[in-house]
């Protein structure tokens, strides 16, 4: 019995989802299009990076073969590795929706087979009755926004009015989500979190997946900046996940980043907060040192999605991937005999695609560790195969929704 490390590169899709057309995403391909833009010079930015996308460590873990398997083509311009280490493949999502909770819960062995609630895309997003209840129960004088919006754009547009009036900025997206932006100083971080707790209860009958606190600082549209004190208030998974099975088996689950929030703090032994991929990696490496035999360290690397995918920033996404790739040897150095590492994603967020929302794509699976031999695991029919692989590796009872690829 050894340890397992599960790392989600938030939104790092590889295209080719069998049902992409049902979501208006036929042809989306986060990795493929970033590589294409970089190969053509459109991914160059003097202060960040230049040239073809270069991910030597992930390529040696089979990333280019995964891309070909998932979408039919190798990513343009990326150099081929001399050899491949570990297991490599891709996975389709069976959950309904293309949101963060659905993807993570399916990775943890529990697909979402119900429909989330969503807010209208035309006109006001929230009903007068809901707004009245929020103002009454949350003790706020009103709200701003009430629409579908990009988080950074709406803060720049309404932040000064928010400071002046004390009204929180409330908005949504194509996901099942209610987001509340408020100034950490003028409104107060604690007050924002309490308001989100109130809204979470009010939205439960509507089956909205998440309420997200989006605190920011600054004094003008030019200086507003979101902080690392984001908090997600998720509903509970519909049934026990891999995390719950590990806890029942006497193991520890070290949740790094927003993992605890995504699982509504259920099935988690220890919550480790950090902001930004570099800090998340530092926290992950420390957790690897502290993890005992039989434990799981579960990390979400959020920057790919939050800072670059949603903002349609191709050079930024490419540079973030290249920085992450350079950190992978640090993970290798922490491994002990019998350890297993799985790198994957929860959905796509193609920065070249229309709109600012997630994209329905297959996700990569790269699994490696001492003694893991190289081979393709093909295209898996569900992300839940990841959970069952970790369950087998850690010798705990399996679930009902996937199959191990060990």
Mean pLDDT of 220-235: 92
Give residues with Cβ within 8 angstroms of 367, minimum separation 6: 86, 87, 88, 340, 341, 342, 343, 377, 389, 405
Task: Give the Å distances, CA to CA, from 157 to 151, 153, 200, 220, 306.
Answer: 10, 6, 25, 10, 19
Read off φ and ψ for residue 299, nearest 5 degrees.
-125, 140
pLDDT value for 7? 98
pLDDT tens string 320-356: 999 999 999 999 999 999 999 999 999 999 999 998 8
DSSP single-letter state for residue 47: T
Work out the pLDDT band at 78, boundaries 50, 70, 90. Answer: very high
Give residues with Cβ within 8 angstroms of 14, minimum separation 6: 29, 30, 31, 32, 66, 67, 70, 71, 90, 345, 348, 361, 362, 363, 364
Answer whether residue 1 shows pLDDT above 70: no
> In angstroms, rounded to a whole number, what is the distance separating the alpha carbons of residues 255 and 261?
9
3-class DSSP assignment, residue 298 = strand
Other CB atoms within 10 Å distance of the CB of residue 401: 18
Mean pLDDT of 85-112: 95
Residue 250 tokens read as 């006497």
> In angstroms, rounded to a whole number, what is the distance separating the alpha carbons of residues 230 and 151?
12
- CB of 312 within 8 A of CB of 273? no
Residue 398 tokens read as 């399996």
Query: CA nearest 364: which of 5, 23, 24, 30?
Result: 30
Task: Give the Å distances, CA to CA, from 395 to 388, 390, 406.
Answer: 10, 8, 12
Model confidence, pTM? 0.91
Q: How many residues does this entry show for the chain?
A: 406
Angle at CA 227, nearest 5°, toward 186 and 188?
25
pLDDT value for 122? 87
Read off φ and ψ for residue 88, nearest 5 degrees.
-150, 140
Query: CA nearest 178: which of 102, 233, 227, 101?
Result: 233
Work out the pLDDT band at 241, boundaries 50, 70, 90. Answer: very high
CA 338 to chain centre: 27
pLDDT tens string 105-150: 999 999 999 889 999 988 999 999 999 999 999 999 999 999 999 8
3-class DSSP assignment, residue 72 = coil
For 88-107, letters b (16+ CB in 10 Å) and e give bbbbbbbbebbbbbbbbbbb
Read off φ and ψ for residue 9, nearest 5 degrees.
-85, 95
- The mean predicted confidence, pLDDT, of the chain is 95
pLDDT tens string 148-194: 998 889 999 999 999 999 999 999 988 899 999 999 999 999 999 99
pLDDT tens string 276-289: 999 999 999 999 99
> In angstroms, rounded to a whole number, what is the distance separating the alpha carbons of residues 11 and 376?
22
Work out the pLDDT band at 65, boundaries 50, 70, 90. Answer: very high
3-class DSSP assignment, residue 20 = helix
> In angstroms, rounded to a whole number, what is the distance separating the alpha carbons of residues 252 and 231?
22
């Amino acid at each position: 019995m050894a340890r397992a490390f599960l790392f989600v590169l938030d939104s790092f899709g590889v295209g080719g989802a069998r049902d992409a057309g049902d979501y208006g995403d036929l042809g989306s391909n986060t990795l493929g299009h970033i590589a294409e833009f970089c190969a053509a010079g459109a991914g160059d930015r003097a202060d960040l990076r230049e040239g073809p996308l270069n991910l030597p460590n992930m390529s040696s873990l089979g990333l280019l073969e995964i891309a070909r398997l998932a979408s039919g083509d190798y990513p343009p311009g990326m150099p081929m590795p001399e050899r491949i280490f570990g297991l490599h493949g891709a996975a389709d999502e069976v959950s309904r929706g293309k949101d963060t909770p659905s993807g993570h819960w399916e990775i943890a062995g529990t697909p979402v087979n119900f429909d989330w609630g969503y807010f209208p895309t035309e006109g006001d997003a929230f009903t007068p009755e809901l707004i009245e209840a929020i103002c009454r129960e949350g003790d706020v004088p009103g709200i701003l926004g009430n629409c579908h919006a990009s988080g950074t754009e709406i803060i720049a547009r309404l932040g000064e009015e928010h400071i002046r009036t004390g009204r929180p900025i409330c908005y949504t997206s194509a996901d099942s989500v209610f987001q509340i932006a408020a100034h950490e100083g003028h409104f107060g971080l604690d007050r924002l979190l309490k308001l989100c707790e109130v809204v979470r209860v009010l939205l439960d009958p509507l089956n909205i997946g998440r309420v997200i606190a989006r605190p920011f600082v600054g004094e003008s549209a030019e200086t507003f900046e979101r902080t690392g004190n984001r908090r997600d208030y998720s509903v509970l998974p519909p049934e026990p996940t891999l995390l719950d099975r590990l806890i029942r088996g006497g193991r520890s689950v070290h949740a790094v980043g927003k993992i605890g929030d995504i699982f509504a703090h259920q099935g988690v032994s220890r919550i480790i907060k950090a902001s930004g991929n570099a800090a998340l990696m530092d926290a992950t490496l420390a957790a690897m040192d502290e993890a005992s035999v039989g434990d799981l360290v579960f990390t979400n690397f959020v920057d790919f999605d939050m800072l670059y995918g949603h903002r349609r920033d191709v050079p930024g996404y490419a540079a973030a991937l290249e920085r992450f790739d350079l950190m992978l040897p640090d993970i290798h150095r922490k491994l002990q005999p019998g350890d297993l590492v799985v790198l994957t994603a929860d959905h796509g967020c193609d920065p070249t695609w229309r709109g600012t929302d997630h994209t329905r794509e297959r996700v990569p699976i790269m699994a490696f560790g001492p003694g893991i031999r190289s081979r393709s695991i093909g295209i898996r029919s569900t992300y839940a195969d990841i959970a069952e692989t970790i369950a087998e590796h850690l010798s705990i009872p399996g679930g009902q929704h996937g199959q191990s690829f060990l």
